Chains A and B, each alone.
Chain A
Amino acid sequence: MSPGSSHARHLAEAGRLANEIRLSVEQVSYAYSANPAQAPLFTLEATSFQARPGEIVAILGPNASGKSTLLKLIAGALAPLSGRILLNGFVTHSLTPRTRAQRIAVVQQESRLLFPARAWEFVLQGRHAHGRSLRFESEDDVLIAKNALAQVGAADLSDRWMDQISGGEKQRVILARALAQQPLLLLLDEPTLHLDIAAQIGLLDALRRLAAANRYTVVVVTHELNLAAEYADQVVLMQRGRCLRVGPPINIYQRELLEQVFQTPLTVELGSSGRPRVTVLAGTET
């Protein structure tokens, strides 16, 4: 077969994939125990869901429900006990760290720095997986990093020191680094933690815009019921290591279900945007 036809086939493949499943979590389970001889301290029961390019999936649930574990499994950082996770047909855990970083970007709760770095240096780290181990950043890398900063509205932060900018600004720079990886899949672990309301909205607006424009599949772990309802296309509802429901917010946000999962009285109504809105009833007895 000539290289030309293989290229054409590749393009056709890419076109077909654009409307198909990109991320497929298939009956994935996990068990964590401090000592292999003992009973596991935490188990994640078989969980399945699928996501397309441009889609935002929110993993929702109270503390210790297995949200972060599920995210680590998707990232390929943990090997599932059973089941598998496919990204464009490849098992995420089996990819080399380099290949994985070219396809999956992970934004963690916080990034600690041992020595000071400027924002642009930090964003350029996202290009690491795209170069050889010992090399100097190319003009392309610089361009991609600049674009990434601009896309999250942080172009003006480029020359600032990372330890001298606000939490919201820092979170945007961290997101820019993830964009510089040019991933297929963007994973975020409670990105809105420690952010004020305006910064939370700003970040999620940016995320929705980017998911649509760059065709990322986004999976975000969050506590924020209303932000998830507003921004997610799909919600994965978790409780104590079990995946209770998967579906669009409107199907998941039912009063009895959420009250039972979050152990607190609340009301659910339809907001002006056509998406459900949750009000937690503080101070009332159950």
Chain B
Amino acid sequence: MRPLTLRRLLLQCFALLVILFVVVVIAIKFGAVPVSLYALGRDLWNVLLHQRSNISSDYVLIIQNIRLPRILLGIMVGASLSVAGTSFQALLRNPLADPYVLGVSSGAGLGAILALIVEPRVTLSPVFAALLTPLGAFLGAAATVTVVYLLGRREGQIDSTTLLLGGVITASFISAIIMFLMSTLTGNLRGLSFWLMGDLSTPLQKSVYWFLGIGFVFASGAIYTTASDLNLLLAGEKEAMHLGVDVPRVRLVVYIAASLLTGLAVSVSGAIGYVGLIVPHVMRLIFGSDHRTLLPTAAIGGAIAVVFADTLARTVVAPNELAVGAVTAVVGAPLFIYLLRRRLA
């Protein structure tokens, strides 16, 4: 018997954080304008010493204003999507659940676009106006989960194939509405590829990063309090109840928090697919399926995956850019098919 200890959990997270650090350094170094590691180290040193005059203008322009915010965004979006994916997999008892595959990301996108349309037409205080898009995305995500859940239910049980099919159809239906809205609208809306494929290149206001960070800590913290309940929920709701899990409460907490994470991520980065599917699977293979380990490792793993995918998206066809969602889909879609076939076998 080797029950999980806090020490082992922290060691695992630390190992992943080291990998994340390496990926972040790679992401800072590579791009349309390459930066040498020596120059990077020298500039960083000067930043630490507060010697502003010695910091190169390249550093300020490229690293501080462009790459670092984008990396930070990638970390938060990746962690959010990955934790949301892990939660949906436990909640729906389906290892193939993922915000993108289930259409939840599309729903969040639609909610965000509707909020953007409504925003200029109503007068709100600036603080609340900034929250309108993430709120719309959250409501869109929550509504889509409900619809897909109801579609996937047959005779009181969730049928996993019907659930996935319901998700895919819902996603394509919502995408059609998004395309329709985009073609009738002109003005200050982000491009179609942003909402359908996901993109981290749009610069954001500083307050949005704070909002994202606090939202992530709050929502994933709420999910983490149910980590050992989720372990039991995987065996079935009845069994979990007999083992002492307050099933309706856990379901509600995870449902709201996972929808919130998806909504937050989609409102700033569009629909980046398959992160919530690939990352939890890899982490399960490495660390096992205990959610007390899986949730934090999936969060860090998601950050690593999205920062890395975005670095590829920026560099592969430089000076042009790919949508980061295209990169994750190229890896994720074949993996999804593989997992689906193995399950049906």
Contacts and interface: CB of A to CB of B under 8 A. Distances in A.
Interface string A80-118: 000000000000000011101110111010011111110
Contacts of A77: 238, 241-242
A204 B110 CA distance: 58
A120 B234 contact: no
B100 interface: no
Given A117-B289, A136-B6, A128 B243 contact: yes
Nearest to A158: B1
A129 B243 contact: yes
Interface stretch (A25-33, A140-148, A273-281): A140-148
Interface in A218-269: none
B131 to A, nearest CB: 29
B289 A115 contact: yes
Interface in B1-33: 1-6
Contacts of A171: none
Given A77-B238, A115-B284, A136 B246 contact: no
Contact of A101 (B224, B234, B242): B242
Contact of B3 (A98, A108, A142, A159): A142
Contacts of B292: 134, 136
A146 B1 CA distance: 8
Contact of B232 (A108, A125, A159): A125
A126 B93 CA distance: 20
Contact of A108 (B95, B238, B244, B245): B238
A260 B296 CA distance: 60
B297 to A, nearest CB: 15
Task: Tell me which of A104, A116, A134, A142 has the highest count of chain B C-beta atoms within 10 A of its own C-beta.
Answer: A134
A133 B226 contact: yes
A134 B224 contact: yes
B238 A128 contact: no
B236 A112 contact: yes
A104 B242 CA distance: 8
Given A102-B244, A125-B232, A126-B243, A114 B224 contact: no
Interface residues of A, number: 39
Nearest to A100: B244
B1 A97 contact: no
A129 B244 contact: yes
A112 B160 CA distance: 14
Given A113-B234, A115-B95, A133 B247 contact: no
Contact of B239 (A108, A129, A181): A108
A142 B243 CA distance: 17
A106 B93 contact: no
Contacts of B244: 97-98, 100-102, 128-129
Contacts of A111: 235-236, 239
A137 interface: yes
A142 B1 contact: yes
Given A134-B224, A158-B1, A125 B289 contact: no
Interface in B75-96: 93, 95
Contacts of B54: none
A59 interface: no
Interface in A24-67: none
B98 interface: no
Interface string A148-182: 00000000001100000000000000000000010
Given A101-B243, A136-B6, A112 B289 contact: no
Interface residues of B, number: 32
A125 B243 contact: yes
A142 B6 CA distance: 15
A124 interface: yes
B246 A97 contact: yes
A73 interface: no
B125 to A, nearest CB: 37
A133 B246 CA distance: 11
A75 interface: yes
B228 interface: yes
Given A97-B241, A134-B227, A128 B232 contact: yes
Nearest to B233: A114
Contact of B247 (A97, A113, A131, A141): A97
Interface string B268-300: 000000000000000010000110100000000
Contacts of A97: 241, 244-247
B229 interface: yes
Nearest to B231: A125
B225 interface: yes
Interface string B288-314: 011010000000000000000000000
Nearest to B8: A136
Given A133-B229, A134-B228, A114 B234 contact: yes
Interface in B183-231: 224-229, 231
Contacts of A136: 3-6, 292
Interface of A: 75, 77, 96-98, 100-102, 104-106, 108, 111-117, 120-121, 124-126, 128-129, 131, 133-137, 141-142, 145-146, 158-159, 181
- Considering the complex of A and B, which 5 residue pairs feature the smallest CB-CB distances, nearest first? A129-B244, A101-B244, A115-B289, A106-B242, A137-B3
17 contacts: A75-B242, A98-B246, A100-B244, A106-B242, A111-B236, A114-B95, A125-B243, A128-B243, A128-B244, A129-B244, A134-B227, A134-B228, A135-B228, A136-B5, A142-B1, A145-B1, A159-B1
